[in-house]
Structure 1
Amino acid sequence: MALGARVLKTGMAVAMTIYLCMLFKQDSPVIAAVAAIFAMQPSIYRSWRYFLDQLQANTFGAMIALGAGMVLSNEPIMIGIICILVIMLSLKMKMEDTIGLTLVTVIAVMEASGQWDYALLRFAQILIGIGSACFINVIFLPPNPKKQFIQQIEAVFNQMSLLLRTSISDEMTEAAFHQEKRELEKSMQSLADKFKLFEEEIKKLKRAKFSRTRHVVVYKQLLYTLQRGMEVLDSIENHYFQSIRGEGIDHKFDEHLEHLIRVHEHVLLKFEDKVKKDTEIIEHLMERNEEFLETMMKACINGDDSSHRLAIVVAACYEYGLQIQRLDRLAGHANPVPEKENA
């Protein structure tokens, strides 16, 4: 069981919130602690955005609940009706992420039956919880989506290359293959989520310079190339073994996939500035890619209907090769941004 930074920071934010409530002599800091748990976000930008959204949502939620508590009552049916109203207003304002904590505010305020001082106290507790979580998130081990994204690239590539290398030769057991593929799909989704966080911070929080924006394009291509490799794996699983293949076809596919993976690995090392720049490798890749496409398409056209499914796999391999070539061009123009730029 891993103890991640976000888990640790959530505990710290809850502790800080309770201490602050004790400092201001506020009873029952449970609501403030719940707010701190909700407010812990995976990036600095999202923490700041969450704070602003919650400030707006909780303000109008507290006002509605205070008015309802004064005019109506705190009977369960009335609290339920007000909660429905607040949910509808939150959806209308496109603030879906704030609904949970806003409802906590509404229930806490309505519990006071319109006592504005009690309502203000509960509202202040929620702001203390949100503020504590944002403070801890920014000060203590601040999230670095870019660094996390780069670290995951190599791991995801290694997972994918193992499956591609063994998919045609059918070396892995079926159970092991499906287990590894499920893990790869989860890793790919996690990688896409990390890129989204990184893109948000660069474009919205830091008001990125052109150089940083250019690096977003490079990192997006890193992800896109891996996704195209994943499509090759999917096409093999869904179409390759369902087609009738001539003698030597398996060997040609196996050999071509091995070549694509080696070149992809070379480009990733080039991106990390670990190997010398060598244009001949990419030129050779494209020559082989074009030759493979032409040869295999002829075989598919001259075959029966089942061989047309093989054309889907060929097209996926060709697209994967094209994206490796594009990644190489981008990696040649932009190395990773130095860490001091992220400060």
Structure 2
Amino acid sequence: MNFGARVLKTGLAVTLALYLATLLKFPSPTGAGIAAIFALQPSIYRSWRHFLDQIQTSTIGAVMALLGGMLLSNQPIAVGIVSILVIMLSMKMNRADTIGLTLVTVISVMDASGQWQFALNRFLMIMTGVVSAFFINILVIPPKPRKQYINQIESVFSSLSLLLRTAVSHEMKESVFRDEKNSLEGSIRSLADKYALFEEEQKKLRKPKYSETRQMVVYKNLLSSLQKGYEVLDAIDRHYFQAERSEETNAVFDRHLELLIKYHEHILLKFQDKIKPGISETGPLGDDNDSFLESVVQGYEHGSASRLRLAVVAGAVYDYGYQLERLDRVADQINRGSEEKDKL
């Protein structure tokens, strides 16, 4: 695991929580440190939402734990019963992400066996950790998920292009290819999670500006292009090598995939403002993409399983190319908008 901002902030949040717990003379500051670990979130909005949700569920959990301690004592079976009830209630409230720390609160409070002063002390100790994590997250190296998103897009494309270039030629060892493909799938899923976070922030925090809405369109199309590229890999893995094919067929697929990879790379350079506006490969790609699909489908005969498998792969490749054309148009619109702004 690399040393990054999240690692640093976790350490700082734990340190601050322990210092505050000691300063406030809590009998056992450890709970505050544990709470700080649970409470750290990947964005400022998530931190604020988690902060509010955690206060709500922890308060409910503390009350239930206090009642449980008074009525059932603090025996393990009683703690387990109250924990189950708290989990069910948290799920009902759509607060599943707060369950871990809420259970820490429940166990800490039930240890008081119905003594409300001691229970309140434990609850405040947990909240000290939550507050510490919240302030560390927004004050120390605030999260920049959008910058991370763009950097990750470039990294994921690098992995995707390598796998696509070697998929049909079958040059890479199967075990290595499988590991790289699984890693790529995880990276794309991580990007999708980040995009969902952007959408959530845009909808909840404020009315988005036009520039922010346009940026979301860019992010969505960048992600969709990578997802379509991965679908090509998946189709090749599932169908291509199970089909009978000639060397000419291999060459057709290999050549078209190389064209799409270069086109994808070309578009990313546009977004980085490294390509002159107006220089586009959309026209030629449109013709080549159609011709490629037709060349694969036209030889299909009813009952030919091999040809059908190749058609499935060709369809995935065609969709990838179609998505790249959409991404290219978005890039051109962004560049034109930047040019007009510069003229003004």
Class of the TM-score when normalised by the shorter of the 2 chains: over 0.9
Q: Does 1:29 align with 2:26?
A: no
Alignment of 1:1-343 (within 5 A): 1-278=1-278, 280-301=280-301, 304-334=304-334
- Residue 175 of structure 1: how far off its partner (Å): 2.7
* Structure 2: runs of 5+ lacking an equivalent: 339-344
Partner residue, 2:341: none
Superimposed CA distance per residue, residues 114-162 of structure 1 (whole angstroms, 9 cap, x where no aligned partner): 2221111111111110000010011111111110010011111111111
| Distance in structure 2 (CA, Å) of the matches to 1:307 and 1:188 | 30
Residues 227 and 30 of structure 1, relative CA distance in 2, 3 Å threshold: same
User: Identical aligned pairs, as a percentage?
Assistant: 57
1:280 and 1:74, CA in 2 relative to 1: closer, same or farther beyond 3 A? closer
Partners of 1:192 and 1:307 lie apart in 2 by 33
Q: Which amino acid aligns with 2:224?
A: Y
Change (3 A) 1:57 1:244: same
Residues 65-106 of structure 1, C-alpha deviations (whole Å, 9 max, x = no match): 222333442222222222222122112212111112112112
Distance 1:101 1:305 in 2: 54
Residues 1:224 and 1:25: Cα distance change in structure 2 (over 3 Å): same
Deviations 1:9-32 (A, max 9, x none): 111000001111121122211111
Q: Deviations over 1:211-243 (max 9, x none)?
A: 212211210110011110111111111111211
Secondary structure of the 1:299 match is coil
C-alpha distance in 2, partners of 1:28/1:63?
20
Which has the higher mean CA deviation after the structures are superposed, 60-69 or 151-160?
60-69
CA RMSD of aligned residues (A): 1.9
Give the stretch that moved more between structures: 17-26 or 206-215: 206-215
1:164 corresponds to which letter in structure 2? L
* Alignment check: 8 A CA contact 2:235 2:313 kept: yes
**Aligned partners of 1:243, 1:187: CA distance in 2, in Å?**
29
Task: Note closer, same or farther for the CA distance 1:303–1:292 as it changes in structure 2 (3 Å cut).
Answer: farther
CA contact (8 A) 1:44 1:201 kept: no
1:46-77 Cα deviation digits (max 9, x unpaired): 11111111111011111122223334422222
Equivalent residue pairs, number: 337
Paired letter, 2:177: F
Deviates more, 1:189-198 or 1:267-276: 189-198
Q: Which residue number in structure 2 is paired with residue 341 of structure 1?
A: none
Higher mean alpha-carbon deviation, 9-18 vs 168-177, is at 168-177
How far apart, in 1, do the equivalents of 2:158 and 2:219 lie? 17
**CA deviations over 1:268-324 (Å, ceiling 9, x no partner):** 111111101235511110011111111221023488332111000110111011000
Preserved CA contact (<8 Å) 2:57 2:98: yes
State the AA in 2 paired with 1:132: S
Q: Which consecutive aligned stretches of 4+ in structure 1 deviate over 3 angstroms post-superposition?
A: none
Shift of 1:265: 0.7
Greater mean deviation of Cα atoms: 67-76 or 86-95: 67-76
Distance 1:156 1:115 in 2: 54
* Secondary structure, counterpart of 1:3 in structure 2: coil
| Letter matched to residue 236 of structure 2 | I
SS of residue matched to 1:58: helix
SS in 2 for 1:334: helix
Contact 1:169 1:254 in 2 (8 A): yes
Alignment CA distance shift 1:296-1:133 (3 Å): same
Distance in 2 between residues matched to 1:78 and 1:110, nearest whole Å: 9
CA deviation after TM superposition for structure 1 residue 247, in Å: 4.9
Deviation of the 1:199 alpha carbon? 2.7
Give the TM-score normalised by structure 2.
0.93
